[in-house]
Every structure is written in C-alpha cells, then in structure tokens.
Structure 1
C-alpha cells in the first residue's frame, strides 16, 4: 500500500512540474503580450470567475471522494448523480457571471474577458467527477496525463495568439479550449477504465449528495471568497499595475499549495478517509503533518533562491517588482500545509459543516485587515496582510480541531 501511495505522489509531483512549466509558459507569454494594466485586468477577470465558480461547488470533492472511498460498489451511481447536480449549478454560475459582466461592468476589456471565461464554469466542475473517482482509487496517473494534455492546448493557443498578434479578447479562449480538452479527455478516460457510461438518475442518492453537499457549500463559498477577495481590495485601493505584480506572486504560491493539496489528497483516501480506528487516524495525522512541514520548509528555502531567476526568465524585466512580493509571501506555505491536513479530518468525520465558522471568521478578518492596512494605515503592500491572514486561518482550524475532533 505504501508503494502505491509513493508512486501516486511521484506521478503527482511529475505532473505538477510539467504543469507549472506549461502554466507559467502561457502566463509569461500573456504578460509579455499585455501591458501591466491590461495584465492586471486579466488577473482580475480570472479571479472573479474562480470566485463565482464557488456557486457550482454544491457537491465538491470533499463530499464525493470520501463517499467513493467507502462505497465502491455504488461508484457509478454516485458519479452520475453528482455530475447532474454539478452541471445544473455550473449553468447557474455561468448565468450569474454573464449577468454581472453585462449589467455591472463598465470596462469593455473586463466585460469581454469575463464573457468568454464564463464558459469554463459549465465544464470544469461537472467533468471533475472523473478526477474524484481516480482520487478515491489512489490512481491519479491517468488524470495527470489528461491534465497535461489540456494545459498543452492552453500553451499552444497562447503561442498562436502571440505569433499572430491577436487582440486581448482572444486570450480567454485558451482557457476555454483547455476546459473542452479536459472534459473530452476525462470522458474517454472513464469509458476506457469502466467500459461504459452509466446513466441512472436516483432521486434518493441525489438527495443524499445534495444535502451533504449543502452542509459544506457555505464553507466552500466562504473559502473561495477568502482566497480571492484580496485581489479586489488591491484593485480598489492600489491599482491594476500592482495587481499584476501581486497576481504573479500569488500564482506562484498557489502552484505550491496545489502540490501540497495533491500530496494530501493522495494520502487521504487510505490514511484519513478509510475505515480505521480513531487511534490509528491520529497516529497517521502526526506523520502527515511532519511530512508537510518538511515539504513546505523545502519549498520556502528553494523559493527564496529561485524566485528572482524564475520571474525574470518567465515574465521579463517589466515585472521585477513581483520578486520581492513573492519572497515575502513564502512563509504562508507553512501555515497552509498544516491547515490543509487538519481540514481533511473534518471531512473524514463528516464534520465539514463546522468549517463554516472558520471561513466566515476568515472572510471577516480578511476584509477587516485589508481595510485597515490599505485604507486606514495607507500601506502600499499586501505581503504582511497575506501572511497574517494565513496564520490566523491555521489558528482557527487548530482551535476547531481541538474542540470538535480531538476532545471527542
């Protein structure tokens, strides 16, 4: 079993290395195509769409993966019914995005970017059920291949946009074609491994999935709000120019956190979500936390030395200001990695609803911190606020863990 987990993690790390190369290749080209102001608008649009995508997270991986791990014989039924629910809410978030773009946005560039990016909301979450299936089977290699192919399409499209000097309105279609490729690839992958598609809607199963998801939905929405709200404060109090630099820095940090998430999600189906005793689960908790502390510390040290070279290589000299910001954000990786391990235990114990306290608290704290620092104290940097927010997030998670998991 350890060999399976190790191989799974190695494939995830390999995929992440290739993905990072493709993602930053594409983003570097976009940054060179656009001036800092327009690139700031691109960052703003991407994060607004990601924020609105929380409306489609009604039955996320946090609900589906534990159920698939425990009820393997019902996997086809769980996957199809989750797909239908996610598709309905995907169209809902797509509609909300278009309404916002056409009735509340006055900037024509932003309107054009948001209108095209809205299409990914209909594709990403519904077809993500296939990814969740392979996560529950601790066999992520097939999914990594599809992900890399989709990212390759994104990079290829951006290359053509640069070569033919196309307008900014063409850039979002790189993301749309990436989502289309991923949806087709995941569908073929599921058919190859399962032999057929399963189409059976169950009102009873859908009801269970919906109400379990509904308990976590507010938490996930608040989590997405917490992760994205900083861009809107920065645009409001500073400028699109600073948002472009800050967006590059946060994008680098997010790629590291995605790596942490992949490692933990590879371990979770066996060490956390599986049917084991409480004593075994807590023993494994300590081991996983130590692993993530080591991994995050290594990332911080490497980042300190490699970030300047990386940003100059990928984005060019026009974005050197992002170097100092990125190095300043590195400590947040340690807080995030520990927090994510503890968070998985709430899902394993079906107490994900408790996390609503955490995310509501973090939204309030985050808004208050950005208002105080950027408006009242007139700070011209968001680095300190970012690290403080993630440290407070870890403290809140630890207190909730002691109260609702450890003491019980």
Structure 2
C-alpha cells in the first residue's frame, strides 16, 4: 500500500484528497438518506412509501436513457485533448445530452398522462422526472471535466450542501402535511441548484465565460461511439432495479415499501464502491500504461475495496435491527432482516466496480454490453424462480447472482487483456 500513499506523486495526492472528500460526501449522503427516508416512511406509511419507492425506481430506470455519451467516453476524451479544446468537447456533449433529456422527460409525462402507472405513482414521478433536465446535461458534463482533473471537490461540496438543505425542506414539508406528490419537485429543485452551482464554478475557472461550443463532427462521434456503452448502462440500471420492478407485481405496495426501505439504505452504502472507483480511475487505471504497474494497482484496489466492503457490511449487519427501528419506526420491523442480508451485496458490487474500470480503460464496449446483458438475464431468470417462493429474499438472490455473473466477465476480460 506504500505506493498508494506516496504523496510525492501529484496524481496520487489528488486522488487521495478526492477520496477524503468522497468519504465526507458519502457519509453526508448516507446520513441524509437515513433522515429523509425515515421522515417520508413515517409520514407516508408503508403503502404510500412503497409507491414513492416505486416512483423513484421508475425514474432510475428512465434516467440511463439520458446517459448517452457517458463519462466512460467523455473523461478519456477530455484527458487526451488539449485544454483549449475542452469547451468544444463539453459543449458538444451538452447538446447531445440535453436533446435526449428533453425527449425522455416529454415521453415520461405523456406516459403518465395516458394513465400508465398508478395515479399516485405517476403524480410522484412527474416531479421527479424533471431531474432529467439537470443531472446529465449540466451536472454530468461538468463532473466529467472534474473527474478528468481528479478533482471532484466542487461537485461533492455542492452535493453535500444541497442534500442537507433537502433534508431540512423535507422536514418542513412533512410538518406542513403537504400532499405526497409534491415531494418529487423537491428532488428536481435539488438537481437544478447543483447544476447551477457547477456551471458557476466552471465559468469562474474560465474567466467568467462558459465557452462551450458545438462541433458537428464531435457530436456525431459522441452519438455513435457511446451508443454501445449507453445501451450497456441501460441494461446495468435495469439489472439494478429489476428486483423492485418484478417484486411490485408479486407483493403489495406496503410489502414493497418494506423491501425498498432496506434497499434504499443499502444502495447508499453500495454507492460508495461505485464512487470510489470513479474517483480513483484516472490516477490508478486510466493513466497507467505499463501492464505490470496496472496489475499491481488492480490487485491493491481489489484488496482495499473488498476489505472496506466486508468491514462495512459486518457493522451494518450487526446494527440492522437498531438502524431500521430508529429510522423507519415499528411499522417497518420486517425490513431489518432484508437489510441484514442486503448489505453483503456491497462486496460483489465493489469488486465488480473495480474490475469494470479495465473495460472502460480499454473501451471494451461490446464486452461491457455483453456483461450487463448477461447479468440482466441471470437476475431475471433467478428472480422469476425465487421471487414467487421467497419474495424479497428471492429478489436479493437475483441481485447476488447478477453481480457474480458481471464480476466473472470482468475477471475473464482482465486475464485475457493483461496477459495477452
């Protein structure tokens, strides 16, 4: 681990500083998620809370549609272009993403108006879906630029500040007893504020000007080069949310609320592995050209991630009953056992996230697509068998099987690529 902490290396120093800020941001998000989930769960009750969780699940299934030209394409492009070209790279990506986001929002609203989802779910989703206009076109584009600098501090500070403000506003709205559907607009406001703050920061770093330009050739490149990655990410998020989508057709919204309560807390923990991999990728994987050094870095990253996830899961497992009782109250006691099992999914999720960096480094888009198609197919098959028999526990088995399938593809590709 000495090589990971040698501060004389500027890339390492920046990455370690990023990890510190990442840890603070993740702890803040976990704390806010606990507070917000507890407030909403107690206020809405299991049935409406289940509908709220289903609405957020639908949003997270729709959102990947806006991820065309994702960070796996944009970050390496910024790194390998001159600073003078950054405005053109970001501007071309923005035009592509905002166009797709507007279309996705319009189709979502049309589907809601046509009576597609449950009326309450649709009312909640209507506000939540507005986040599509800000997350990828603004936050995602500027965050890719920050990732290329191994400097995510501005985005993390903005995220922490707005998360705390959102928690305070949720408390106020609960005290005011506002209708459940109104809460979705608060999430849209949060995304708009973060996007605005990052745009202002970018302009300050560039002489008060945005300086984004549209380049037709680069636009076409992003639209085509990112298509396979884009479809792969859509498959990935379908896999991650397939448990709730399939479970909703087998259990009541109240039972779905119990399962979702446990999984919402767990997903904030698993997100640590994903954000950890994103923040260290440029310094320890993307910029490393020597195969031997890359192998050493990967071995250390796998070990570090596994140790972190196991330690965290063990603590959360031991405290599951206490956490669920304090956060959600007595009506959600059934979520404790689900949470106790769910937290161990962070181990294969973290290992998969680190292995995935090699696929992104070498732009192995067809391997990425094949991996998530396989994970989705495996999870669907396992869910089809296990959910009718074990309900929420069956959904966890499906997620675990999918993660193992995805990690297996990663390891096969790493062995093939780095030993070739």
Both proteins in one fold, TM over 0.5:
yes
2:124 maps to which residue?
113
Aligned position for 2:61: 51
Mapping 1:105-184, distance limit 5 Å = 105=116, 107-127=118-138, 128-184=140-196
**1:159-184 Cα distance to aligned partner (Å, 9 max, x none):** 12111111112111111111111111
Listed one character per residue, the Cα deviations across residues 29-59 of structure 1 (whole Å, up to 9, x for unaligned) are: 1111101011000000001011011111111
Judged with a 3 Å threshold, the aligned counterparts in structure 2 of structure 1 residues 106 and 17 are, in CA distance, closer, same or farther, namely closer
Aligned 8 A contact 1:215 1:352 in 2: yes
Corresponding residue of 1:247: 260
Residue in structure 1 matched with residue 89 of structure 2 by the alignment? 78
Aligned-partner Cα distance in 2 for 1:359–1:314: 33
Counterpart in 2 of 1:3? 13
What does residue range 306-321 of structure 1 map to in structure 2 within 5 Å?
306-321=319-334
Aligned length: 406
Distance 1:7 1:103 in 2: 49
Q: Is the 8 A contact 2:338 2:392 kept in 1?
A: no
Query: How far, CA to CA, are the matches of 2:330 and 2:206 in structure 1?
Result: 50
Q: Deviations over 1:255-302 (max 9, x none)?
A: 122111222222110111115222222221111111111111111111
CA distance in 2, matches of 1:199, 1:392: 41
In structure 1, list runs of 5 or more residues that go unmatched.
none
C-alpha displacement at 1:71, in angstroms?
2.3
Question: Unaligned 5+ residue runs, structure 2?
Answer: 1-9
Q: Give, in whole Å, the separation in 2 of the partners of 1:69 and 1:4.
A: 15
Q: Distance in 2 between matches of 1:237 and 1:400?
A: 37
> Could you tell me how far apart the structure 2 residues matched to 1:244 and 1:392 are?
28
Give the TM-score of the pair, scaled to structure 2.
0.92
**Following the alignment from structure 1 to structure 2, what is the Cα–Cα distance between the partners of residues 106 and 353?**
33
Distance of 1:366 and 1:345 partners within structure 2: 23
User: 1:407 offset after TM fit, Å?
Assistant: 4.1
Structure 1 match to 2:6: none
Deviation at 1:100, TM superposition (A): 2.1
Alignment of 1:17 with 2:30, yes or no, is: no
Determine the C-alpha separation between the residues in 1 that align with 2:176 and 2:391: 41
SS of structure 1 residue aligned to 2:68: coil
User: Partners in 2 of 1:329 and 1:380 — Cα distance?
Assistant: 10
1:233-261, Cα deviation, whole Å (9 max, x unpaired): 11101221221111122212211221112
CA distance in 1, matches of 2:18, 2:390: 47
Aligned pair partner of 2:70 in 48, 60, 74: 60
Larger CA deviation: 146-155 vs 173-182: 146-155
For the aligned residue pairs, the C-alpha RMSD in angstroms reads 1.7
> Is the 1:40–1:240 contact (alpha carbons within 8 Å) kept by the matching residues of 2?
yes
In the other structure, the counterpart of 2:103 is 92
For the residue of structure 2 that corresponds to 1:119, the secondary structure is: helix
Q: Does 1:31 align with 2:41?
A: yes
Instruction: Supply the distance in 2 between the matched residues of 1:183 and 1:264 (Cα, whole angstroms).
Output: 23
Q: Aligned equivalents of 1:159 and 1:348: distance in 2? A: 43
* 3-state SS, counterpart of residue 115 of structure 1: helix
Query: What is the Cα deviation at residue 393 of structure 1?
Result: 2.5
For residue 106 of structure 1, report the CA deviation from its aligned partner.
5.3
Residue pair 2:380, 2:398 contacting (<8 A) in 1 also: no
Q: Distance in 1 between matches of 2:390 and 2:143?
A: 44
